[in-house]
Amino acid sequence: MPIRLDIKKKLSVSSERVKSVDIHPTETWALAALYSGNVTIWDYESGSSVKTFEVSELPVRCAKFITRKQWFVSASDDMRLRVYNYNTMEKIKEFEAHSDYIRYVEVHPTLPYFLTSSDDMTIKCWDWDRGFDCTQLFEGHAHYVMMVKFNPKDTNTFASASLDRSIKVWGLGSPMPHYTLEGHERGVNCIDYYPSGDKPYILSGADDRTVKIWDYQTKSIVHSLDGHTHNICAVLFHPKLPLICSASEDGTVRLWQSTTYRAETTLNYGMERAWALAATRETTKLAIGFDEGCVVVELGSDDAVVSMDGTGKVVWAKNNEIQTTTVRGLAGAADDDDALPDGEKLPVVPRDLGACELYPQSIKHNCNGRFIAVCGDGEFIIYTAQALRNKAFGQAIDFVWSATGTGDYAIRESTSRVKFFKNFKESRAIKPATSSADGLYGGHLLGVKGGDSAVLFYDWDTGEFVRKIDVAPKNVYWSESGNLVLIACEDSAYVLSYNAAVVTSAIAMGQVSPEDGVDGSFDLLYEINDSITSGEWVGDCFIYCNNAGRLNYSVGGKIQTLVHLDTKSSGATMHSVLGYLAKEDRVYLVDKSLNIISYKVMLAVLQYQTAVMRGDFDSANMLLPNIPQSEYTIIARFLEAQGFKEEALEVTMDDDHKFDLSLELGKIDVAHELMKQTPPDEKNSIDTMAKWKKLSDAALKISDFELTEACSLASDDFPGLLLLYSAVGNFEGMEQLAEMARKKGKTNIAFVAYLLTGNVEECANLLIETNRLPEAAFFVRTYLPSRVEEIVSLWKNDLSKVSETAANALADPASHPELFPDRNVALQVEKMFLAQRNATKATGISASDYPTAKDDLDLDLIALVKSQGGGGGAAAPPPPPRPAAPIDDDDDDDAGASAATAAAEAAALAQAEAAALAQAVEADRLAQEAEQQRLAEEAAAEEAARIAAEEEAAAAKAAENVDDFGDDW
């Protein structure tokens, strides 16, 4: 059976003789090298000229795209190569390449090389990364070298065709050919490699009017194709279709099946001799260069041959190879940090199922996904979906599945005969009530496309005629429940309700009219004024792609746009709807290159929209859906007002609103991401700083100290950082905070941070920098008495500008030592403080030491040192260091040991000083207790003496009273 390719002419332009054509792999461009010396880029979708380059005054024999550099390279009869940027039209390079006409240019698929073949019987390799130097020269042919081609299976080898009747195979790096293929009776004009790696074939065309297929491993001819009546100028294996194409000076292009070598069709556009062919693996397009112009045809549809079942399992065909994969879970959940953004290509991992006996032109799962039907070449084969085991096969023009029965399907044998199958066995055959049955549509009813612009529906079980709808359908889509059907036409679509109960009753009672079917079986609900290319029912909502590249959905006739998809240069869509997974709330689309993408379309949203359209607001309020993009912010405000902040956060498009919602919901990660996306020109605004502060407070509530710190740093929240660092004991952070606050002019924060880290020197310097000289003088009087003279001098100088008298009244230790008692003791205490700070700086003081260390805050260090014998005199010198062991300069180990010894001694010294300080503290405590006991004893003695004196006085007074009484008596 033939492949049945629907060949459409996409471009036909008249021009001078076209000696070379090439197709861009991603743009809809055809590159034509003209005999007039020009190179033209045509858009085969729009039919317009994109750019024209005046390359030479002599014919241009070859031009090829170098797409990864956005260049094309051309070879003209002035023996020169020219390289242009096809976007900017800038000439990149021009140089003389050969001593005779250049016949062909072949670009390496990955390396920065291209080959040129010439009438000077040589092949040259050029490296554009080396300034287009000729890196290799290949000689061996005895006549003109007409063409060279890289082997796609091994890109280090290439083949050449020559008029010396031979084909030679070469390798990069060797100037001599590996081997020679001989078999043509006249000169060989063209060659091509089989595009896949499964067949070691070379294709050749020659002036002997034959096309030969060679096995380059056995170096033998596999097959020879006859049919052309003149020299063959171009041949190719189509990289996407199982076709061999050949162009000849007889003006025709012949297509042959590449597996059976059967002649498929012959193309003749009346444009005289055919010179060149080009195709790409991305599309089914074929470009042809003629004497009188250029033609681009589409060989059948370039839509992906792919199907997805209801569980996310996908099956597709690449040529005759069948592969499967699954999309379930690949996009990730919406709240997953690793979830792919909408529209991103899914990282599918295909698994080979095997090869199909026919060339697949369509693949479709049955209703439960257990079987797939592969159709093409006028035949169909039903396979199991998991293992590709053959279940049934036959000949058919069209094949469709039933929406209910596992093994129920129908085929169209001819324009007047349709067969029904039940459980893979033929059940009945009908002759549709139309002049010509031109197609079939599966679903809950069997649809037959009539030649009179109508679609006829038949019951699967009985074959009874149900209804005729007078529209010209492109496709028919049934909802899963079977109560709705959409008939897509060229520029519009009609949604009808289907009453299955009425049909079942009419069939059972024999009330089916042969002309009209069943009255009341269908009712028109609404019309969609859009050109639908593919679609899927989700409940009562229809999701579809239109011809303009938009992914839309329709509820009750109201259309909402979900997303604008990539389109061709003509504006036509490149995607089709693959299916919808309700468990993942995603619609999946596939492009012509089998790249699968997905978009979040929540089922609840669609159900909500449906309920609203029905006026069922109670159900709508219960569903609480997300909203289409155009209404995201408005509806999000509504959802927030109703208390559904989670849903509002998911749909809102307003960043400020999203930030507030994320904080209210405790999703500080979302809020943090939003803040990180703040535009540079808004980062220092008051609003942004306030947001950072809010985020910092929210992070602090959940003890996310890292985020709290990041937010406080971003917003210059120095008080917050001071609180955080002091609370968690972040010494390094406190030091950094002091420096940052100092640079930003926040001197109070900087002063406190310096003080908390024990950096009293910088505290004094900071007071001096800010001209707080009185405070600095009193500060150093307490913490750094060694700097009193320096700062008092600065204070005097500053104060003298205001009052000389007041300045002279200031005393310093140098001029008035009598006013500074115990100064030497204070200096000694300062040294002790600094030594203690340096000793504990590396390790810090453990928080567990606080219960004992807190009492040190009440110590009178001056009195303590004085009690240890340091009163008024100079501070006792520190104990001399132990003598260091001699160091051998040549012995690194001894040096390391010495360093370790020194460090240990320093640690021991610090420990001894700390022990001495502790002993001093204990001695002071005991002295204080003894003093308190002495004072208590003295007080007790004084109290006893006072009592005795009082008793004596009382006795004397009593004696006097006795005497007076006697006198009075």
Residue scoring higher pLDDT (764 or 837): 764
Region 6-33: mean pLDDT is 92
Q: Three-state SS string across 368-431, please?
A: CCCEEEEEECCEEEEEECCCCCEEEEEECCEEEEECCCCCCEEEEEECCEEEEEECCEEEEEEC
Task: Name the strand (E) or helix (H) holding 65.
Answer: strand 60-66
**Residue 847: count of CB within 10 angstroms of its CB:** 9
Q: Considering only 191-195, 409-413, 514-518, 915-919, which range has the smallest mean pLDDT?
A: 915-919
What pLDDT is stored for residue 545 in this prediction? Answer: 93
**pLDDT, tens digit, 9 for 90 and up, residues 601-648:** 877 777 766 765 665 657 766 765 554 465 566 566 655 655 667 766
Greater model confidence, 624 or 42: 42
Q: Where residue 955 falls among pLDDT bands split at 50, 70, 90?
A: low
- Identify any residues that bridge with 484 across adjacent strands, giving them in sequence order: 497
Report d(CA 133, CA 146) in Å as an integer: 22
Mean pLDDT of the region 772-800: 86
Beta bridge partners, 448, equal 440, 456
* DSSP per-residue letters across 596-639: EEEEE--HHHHHHHHHHHHT-HHHHHHH-----GGGHHHHHHHH
Average pLDDT, the chain: 84
Contact partners, residue 877, CB within 8 Å, separation at least 6? none
The string of pLDDT tens digits covering residues 534-580 is 999 998 889 999 988 899 988 777 787 888 988 876 677 889 999 99
Give me the pLDDT at residue 449, please. Answer: 93
Quote the CA–CA distance of 214 and 458 in Å, as a whole number: 52
pLDDT in tens, 75-84: 999 999 999 9
Reported as type and span, the H/E element at residue 904 is helix 892-968
Q: Which two tokens stand for residue 225?
A: 């194709």
Is 60 exceeded by the pLDDT of residue 890?
no
The CA–CA distances, whole Å, from 686 to 20, 321, 692 equal 64, 62, 10
The answer to whether the beta carbons of residues 117 and 104 sit under 8 Å apart is: yes
Which amino acid appears at position 163 of this protein? L
Assign 823 a pLDDT band (cuts: 50, 70, 90). confident
Mean pLDDT value across residues 292-317: 90
Q: How far apart are the C-alpha atoms of 773 and 648, rounded to whole Å?
A: 57
Strands 102-107 and 91-96, by their bridges, are unpaired
CA 740, CA 749: separation in Å to the nearest integer?
10
Q: Quick one: average pLDDT of 16-33?
A: 93
Question: What proportion of the chain, given as a percentage, has pLDDT over 70?
Answer: 86
Residue 895 to residues 884, 889, 909, Cα–Cα distance (Å) = 11, 7, 21
* Cα dist from 326 to 330, 375, 545, 717, whole Å: 8, 22, 22, 50
Assign residue 470 a region: left if phi > 0, alpha if psi is -120 to 50, beta otherwise? Answer: beta
The pLDDT-based confidence of 319 (bands split at 50, 70, 90) is confident
What span, in angstroms and rounded, lies between the C-alpha atoms of 225 and 242? 15
pLDDT confidence of residue 757:
82
| pLDDT at residue 958 is higher than 70 | no
Instruction: Encode pLDDT of 184-214 as tens digits.
Output: 999 999 999 998 777 899 999 999 999 999 9
Closest CA to 478 of 486, 490, 470: 486
pLDDT digits (tens, 9 = 90+) for 447-487: 999 988 899 999 999 999 999 999 999 999 999 999 999 99
Angle at 530 between CA 526 and CA 531, to 5 degrees: 125
Scored b (16 or more CB within 10 A) or e, 218-243 reads eeebeeebebbeebbbbbbbbbbbbb
pLDDT value of residue 478: 94
| 806-839: b (≥16 Cβ within 10 Å) or e | eeeebebbeeeeeebebbbbbbbbbebebbbeeb
Q: Work out the average pLDDT over 793-805.
A: 87
Contact 382, 393 (CB under 8 A): yes
Q: Is the model's pLDDT at 693 over the cut of 80?
A: yes
- Residues 533/573, Cβ–Cβ less than 8 Å: yes
pLDDT at 903 over 60: no
pLDDT attached to residue 485: 95
Q: Which pLDDT belongs to residue 906?
A: 46
pLDDT of residue 959: 46
Q: How far apart are the first and last CA of the chain?
A: 167
Closest-CA residue to 793 (of 780, 783, 782): 780
671-683 confidence digits (pLDDT tens): 888 888 888 877 7
> Is the predicted pLDDT of residue 505 greater than 80, yes or no?
yes
Task: Assess whether pLDDT exceeds 60 at residue 344.
Answer: yes
Whether 350 shows a pLDDT value over 70: the answer reads yes
pLDDT (average), residues 353-363: 87
Residue length of the chain: 969
The answer on pLDDT for 793 being more than 80 is yes
Q: Which residues pair with 552 in a beta bridge?
A: 544, 561
What is the spatial distance between Cα 825 and Cα 355, in angstroms, rounded to a whole number?
Answer: 98
